[in-house]
Amino acid sequence: AQTDRNQPIHIEADAMRYDDVHQTSVFTGNVVVTKGSLVLRAATVDVRQAPDGYQYATALAAPGQLATFQRQLDVAPGQPAQTLDGAAQRIEYDGKTDVVTLRGQAMLSRLIDGRLMDRSQGNVIAYNQITDVFTVEGGAAGATATNPGGRVRVMLTPQPPASSAPAAPKSPPALKVAPKLGTQP
């Protein structure tokens, strides 16, 4: 949720190794990263600081398992809680483009009050945090038990005609307006 922004980050792991030459921190063994409502679980999480100053992070699942993340979404007061669940063999974060990429048996689900509303599956799901747009690519590598062909499968549940609350235009929450160009702060 928006309020996650300045929450402290908690990381737990079995081990951590920092290498100044390569500017990397690698956390290994039952890694749990939490920040506000975000919870990320993986076997290893490594964070690299690129020369351009941006950070790139990769979360890897243990063999045969999936790395997962879960987050609360901002909802209007009084609205039921919405969470975003992601899972994949590999979750990458690009600090420059602010895109989270789920790779290998990728699945992104949105739940309202714990009930599944939308789900997309595929080989690769790229989710842009700024534009709230996500793209899904198919491919055999994306095959899972529930999606043997690995084809792109997106299931969207139309918003029920809310009696009082204004009906949300589309299932993904309102798109954010891209920051106007103008002078950078």
Interface residues toward another protein, by CB under 8 A: 1-2, 4-21, 23-25, 27, 33, 35-38, 47-49, 52-57, 71-74, 93, 95, 98, 100, 129-130, 132, 172-174, 176
Q: How far is the CB of 178 from another protein (least distance, A)?
A: 12
In the complex with another protein, which residue's Cβ is closer, 82 or 151? 82
Query: Among 160, 70, 77, 172, which residue's Cα sits nearest to residue 118?
Result: 172
In the complex with another protein, which residue's Cβ is closer, 71 or 153? 71
Give CA–CA dist 121/104, Å, rounded: 10
| Amino acid identity, position 105 | Q
Q: How far is the CB of 97 from another protein (least distance, A)?
A: 9
In the complex with another protein, which residue's Cβ is closer, 73 or 152? 73
Q: How far is the CB of 40 from another protein (least distance, A)?
A: 9
In the complex with another protein, which residue's Cβ is closer, 27 or 89? 27
Please tell me whether residue 151 adopts helix, strand or coil conformation. Answer: coil
Q: How far is the CB of 69 from another protein (least distance, A)?
A: 9
Give CA–CA dist 59/181, Å, rounded: 32
Please tell me whether residue 141 adopts helix, strand or coil conformation. Answer: helix
Q: Are 49 and 18 in contact (CB under 8 A)?
A: no
Give CA–CA dist 68/146, Å, rounded: 17
